[in-house]
Chain A
Amino acid sequence: MESSILESIGQEIIGVMSPVSLCMLLVVLLVYSLSDSNPFSSSSSAPIRTAANLVYLENPSDSAAQKLEGALLNALVFVILIAVVTFVLVLLYYYNFTNFLKNYMRFSAFFVLGTMGGSIFLSFIQHFSIPIDSITCFLLLFNYTIVGVLSMFSGGVPIILRQGYMVSLGIIVATWFTKLPEWTTWVLLVALALYDLVAVLAPGGPLKLLVELASTRDEELPALVYEARPTVSRNEGNPRSTLGFLVAGVSDSGSVELQAVSNNNMYRDVSENHTSPEYAAIPVSNLENVVRERNRDEGERSPLVGHSRERYSSESNSSEYSTIVRNRESEIVVDEERSPLVDMLGMDNERDHQWRDSVVANRGIKLGLGDFVFYSVLVGRAAMYDLMTVYACYLAIISGLGCTLILLSVCHRALPALPISVTLGVIFYFLTRLLMEPFVVGMTTNLMMF
């Protein structure tokens, strides 16, 4: 029996959603396990002074108006800082200081993994009273950090390791951000979503400039992005029967399917159509067989840009981007996962010739790391209230991400990933907290369920 289209529609969306979900889940677990150690601990009364706290240090005894005002000021300062730093980055990139940028990013990744990861590790040990000595700790941490830096910035490392380190970096930063006071966190999230919208879509926005520069120079973005590369090994079973189309077209009625990535010209020349995606075509044994299995490597050519940078401590050491990028042009990148594909491509008929150029850049949807971080911060902050809000915010964020991906397939340009999800998440959080919780709790404690 031939397989139906249901086998593989929507693959790339899941490829992005599952690391985001994993990151959020781990942040929630970390927050839960590390927060109920002692609710009246001294650490909560001495909040850390970060860049997000420069103006106003929140105190639980302040009045609501004071808190709101202080939170707004904090958020404003933070957004301004981020904007300035992004502009500096754009300038550096423009003047081709790429080496400096790369080294700086390596150093910042090392620093974040080492210090912040280290402090989380230490508090973990403290909380669970794990008997481990300091030399072992140091060695483990050092190894972890070095492997992380190596895997993220050099080639030849298996993609799963790189993805894992991206996720863990997101987890570490998000856990740190959840230590911010509550009002500041919420206002900061909203402010960052707005900033993201402006920075990516407005004509003078720094992220838009950066993406355009990168695409005109045909280079990678100098940023930390998570690449959701699809698994290459789709050849289990009979290649003729597992004809999974990972990419669907936009239907004739104009409605966009979930996985709408390309336009209708899937069979035509890719090169002449800028909006068509790049595929890695694994041909079936019958060369005349038009229907072939594709790995959705590149998806749309439109970058989806998240937010720009954040600072963690007062020393502004790390610079991370959140961008979802899809390469507009094709690049020849030698990649070990690609080599079986390249061999197989030699067997193609000449229709695949046009795809050969576009195939080689074996990339999936890219999501910037800052998106991971801020989604997890939102969910982590919801976790500090109740599990119900966690679930509601998780669903809101996932649906926002899905909407953004659909928009991406329609618009084919860089899109900010933060605004829709954060807006939905915040709305759902407050709705759940105010409306749903008395309803549900009242019903379940009386065992009235529907």
Chain B
Amino acid sequence: MTVAAGIGYALVALGPSLSLFIPVISKKPFLILTLLSSTLVWLISLIILSGIWRAFLPLNSTTWWPFAILIFTSVAFQEGLLLLFWKAYKRLEDILDAFADRVSKPRLYLTDKMQIALAGGLGHGVAHAVFFCLSILTPAFGPATYFVNRCSQILFFLVSAIIALAFVTVHTFSMVIGFNGYAEGIKWTNFLFHLFILLLE
């Protein structure tokens, strides 16, 4: 609607992640690197997904089931990504511990591990927010606005910003919880957790 409203929407989507970023992550450079790499991994997964689905686009928006399949495959792919992340994280942990031993410093604390998981999840969340919300926000800086199709009272950009906010939270903490869960071994509780995320999305 205006520049102010546009910035407002951007802040709605990214505000909590910014408030997580500045006190926790920007103090430790390693966490910044973790965030950047997890964002990159998410981006690559999105590119792969869009490459696979390119042949089927554009979908007509009258039927709902193509969208369901789309979302299902995408989310399943990303859960697989979480597993991959976990394996990479185990290796990283070994390297970091070996290094810590060599310079006779204490090994990684639990809070460190959780911070790494937080940074990874935040990377995913920020990538999601940027690609799904901010990239279409550019028209919001102009003079007009756009309402939702089905319910013509709500502003479109506001809805997308709120959804992006929700997803940031989901991504961030799902990674923390997921890592904690995986740390105790692959059990059926992990499957429940993934199912929960799947349903949520």
Contact = CB atoms under 8 A, between A and B. Distances in A.
B175 interface: no
A114 B74 CA distance: 51
Interface in B98-113: 98-100, 102-109, 112
A5 B31 contact: no
Contact of A8 (B29, B43, B164): B29
Give the 6 A-B CB pairs with smallest separation, nearest first: A439-B50, A388-B135, A14-B29, A10-B29, A9-B30, A436-B50
Interface stretch (B15-23, B56-64, B177-185, B186-194): B56-64
B5 interface: no
A386 B74 contact: no
21 contacts: A4-B106, A6-B30, A6-B115, A6-B116, A10-B30, A245-B103, A251-B102, A257-B99, A386-B138, A387-B137, A387-B138, A392-B47, A395-B40, A399-B40, A431-B47, A435-B50, A438-B54, A443-B132, A444-B133, A449-B132, A450-B78
Given A4-B112, A387-B134, A395 B39 contact: yes
Contacts of A10: 29-30, 32-33
Given A249-B99, A438-B58, A290 B30 contact: no
Given A291-B103, A443-B70, 16 more contacts: A8-B29, A9-B96, A245-B105, A251-B102, A387-B138, A388-B130, A395-B40, A402-B33, A435-B47, A439-B50, A439-B57, A442-B57, A442-B59, A445-B136, A448-B70, A450-B78
A258 B95 CA distance: 10
Contact of A399 (B32, B36, B54): B36
Interface of A: 2, 4-11, 13-14, 243, 245, 248-249, 251-253, 255, 257-259, 264, 266, 290-291, 386-388, 391-392, 395-396, 398-399, 402, 428, 431-432, 435-436, 438-450
Interface in B132-155: 132-138, 148
B142 to A, nearest CB: 10
Contacts of B95: 251, 253, 255, 257
Counting contact residues on chain B (CB < 8 A from A), the size range is 35 or more
A435 B57 CA distance: 10
Contacts of B37: 399, 402
B105 to A, nearest CB: 5
B28 A2 contact: no
Contacts of B99: 5, 248-249, 251, 257
Contacts, number: 159
Nearest to B159: A447
A394 to B, nearest CB: 10
B112 A6 contact: yes
Contact of B136 (A14, A290, A441, A448): A441
A13 B138 contact: no
Contacts of A428: 43, 47
Contacts of A450: 71, 74-75, 78, 128, 167, 201
Contact of B57 (A395, A438, A449): A438
Contacts of B104: 290-291
A437 B76 CA distance: 21
B135 A6 contact: no
Contacts of B160: 444, 447, 449
A391 B135 contact: yes
B81 to A, nearest CB: 12
A439 B67 CA distance: 12
Most buried by B among A14, A264, A266: A14
B134 A439 contact: no
A386 B67 CA distance: 25
